[in-house]
Amino acid sequence: MRAEIINPFISATIEVLKSMAYTDSIPGKPFLKNDYSATGDVTSIVGITGEPDATFSITFDSESILCIVSKMFGETLTELTQEVADATGEIVNMISGKARREMDKKGIHYDGAIPTIITGQGHEIKHISEGPVIAIPFQAEKGSFTMEICFKS
């Protein structure tokens, strides 16, 4: 596991959700993921180029993303709409940017692409990079989400 790359994404996730949505999130124990199945209803995935290339995603269950986006927008949302999906992409984009800035301070440079959003129960996440997928489950104020990072072999 590449802690010098994974840890900035974990801390960025905690910080962005706290500052943008006033939501606490607690990371669980990382594990190697062996399949493509998503753990929730809305995924945003972004490619990051550097050494090595990688992809980064977060999959939110509906309860967690509705709570997070409701807090961001200051209104109660009860359905997974295109607006919620778009907000998911922006959240992951902010997390990716914050993590990459933190790595830059340590001399590790990555560039990010535009996030792609995948929605629906039972969807699959196929990382662009070929390599092991490290998954980190998070418990949110309501519901849960899973971060995945896949490094090119």
Q: What is residue 124's DSSP assignment?
A: B
pLDDT at res. 151: 83
Q: For 3-151, CATH number?
A: 3.40.1550.10
Per-residue confidence (pLDDT) for residue 4, from 0 to 100? 78
Q: Which amino acid is at 131?
A: G
**What is the model's pLDDT at position 15?**
98
DSSP string of 60-118, one letter each residue:
E-HHHHHHHHHHHHTS---S--HHHHHHHHHHHHHHHHHHHHHHHHTT---EE---EEE
Block residue for tokens 């972004």: 46
- pLDDT value of position 50: 87
Determine if the peptide bond prior to 132 is cis (ω within 30°): no
Question: CB neighbours (10 Å) of residue 93?
Answer: 17
Q: What is the pLDDT of residue 76?
A: 96
The predicted structure's pLDDT at residue 152: 83
User: How high is the pLDDT of residue 52?
Assistant: 82
Enter the pTM of the model.
Answer: 0.93
| Tens digits of pLDDT across the chain (153 residues) | 577 789 999 999 999 999 999 999 999 999 999 999 999 999 999 999 988 888 999 999 999 999 999 999 999 999 999 999 999 999 999 999 999 999 999 898 999 999 999 999 999 998 877 789 999 999 999 999 999 999 887
d(CA 121, CA 102): 33
How far is it, in rounded angstroms, from Cα 32 to Cα 133? Answer: 6
Residues 132 and 109: their CA atoms lie apart, in Å, by 21
Give 81's contacts (C-beta < 8 A, 6+ positions apart): none
